[in-house]
Structure 1
């Protein structure tokens, strides 16, 4: 058992093996549900292990490496928050997404680039907590109401995101158009 301030060691070999399976989740069509549940659990565990490690290193990263690290950390938080969905296809897609993020986190952990003194940790924390409205592209401020929505995408079945429920100009225009149609 580890003390509260100690972190579990990062087993890069096991993480690589797991994310390789996750990246090839469509190798068997349709993916086997029993194996998917196990794979999802392992991938979630790897992401949960790597996020605090990469977050600690990201505060010391510079330039594009830091920007990439913050993006990957934020995306990892969102994937963990979203969950897998109910259908077998949704679970397989989520497994593949977690595999991509696991690979990115491990790469950043192992190859962080030149490190300097720790700076801007509050910027990283703010990015993790931040939500951008997919309709108006504005920050959803603390206390503003929002909803999770699926935005249309030509490249996939949709993109998960957030949208103001009250204060967004785009949402207000949509509602006005709906009311005019009545």
Structure 2
């Protein structure tokens, strides 16, 4: 079980374990809606970490998905998740959808999904 998966450019390894642990701070091991949000300063830090992880993960998942057969379901699902991740990165937190904690949780969910797609397209697990 390899916690660090080498990216395709071999200069910056993707630390899937750390990415999952960051998401778990907001979601728990499942998707625990009862989990209390972190303190405001910690929430800002976690949100920044999630954004950074997503910015690293999106192009990697996209590259891996592009290598799959054009009509494959895994390719379609991975690319749909990439599109969703980009959309969520461009959004701002709004009170209507849970404010800052809700926004951070949405980023954590899409990061967790991208980790799954990355592992599925590489055959690696963290």
Q: TM-score, normalised by structure 2?
A: 0.74
Are 2:73 and 1:64 equivalent residues in the alignment?
yes
Whole-Å separation in 1 of the counterparts to 2:68 and 2:90: 25
Aligned pair 1:36/2:40, yes or no? no
Q: Tell whether the 8 Å contact from 1:26 to 1:92 is kept in structure 2 after alignment.
A: no
Specify the alignment match of 2:117 in structure 1: 108
> Structure 1 residues 98 and 6 mapped into 2: Cα distance closer, same or farther (>3 Å)?
same
Structure 1: tracts of 5 or more residues without a match: 115-182
> Cα distance, 1:31 vs. partner?
4.3
Larger helix percent: 2
Q: Is the 8 A contact 2:26 2:35 kept in 1?
A: no
Unaligned runs of 5+ in 2: 1-8
SS at match of 2:121: coil
Conserved 8 A contact 2:64-2:122: no
The list of structure 1 runs, each at least 4 consecutive aligned residues, that deviate by more than 6 angstroms after superposition, is: none
Are 2:57 and 1:54 aligned?
no
Q: Give the greater-gyration-radius structure (CA).
A: 1
| Counterpart secondary structure, 1:8 | coil
**Following TM superposition, by how much is the alpha carbon of 1:67 offset from its aligned partner in structure 2, in angstroms?**
1.2
Deviations 1:140-179 (A, max 9, x none): xxxxxxxxxxxxxxxxxxxxxxxxxxxxxxxxxxxxxxxx
Q: State which of 73, 78, 84 in structure 1 corresponds to 2:87.
A: 78
Partner of 1:111, secondary structure, is helix
Pairs within 5 Å for 1:10-159: 10-24=14-28, 26-28=34-36, 31-62=38-69, 63-85=72-94, 89-112=98-121
**SS of 2:12's equivalent?**
coil
Q: TM-score, normalised by structure 1?
A: 0.53
- Partner Cα separation in structure 2 for residue 60 and residue 52 of structure 1: 13
CA deviation after TM superposition for structure 1 residue 85, in Å: 3.9
- Report the alpha carbon displacement of residue 12 of structure 1 after superposing the two structures with TM: 1.1
The CA RMSD over aligned residues, in Å, is: 2.5
Distance 1:90 1:68, change over 3 A: same
Deviation at 1:26, TM superposition (A): 4.8
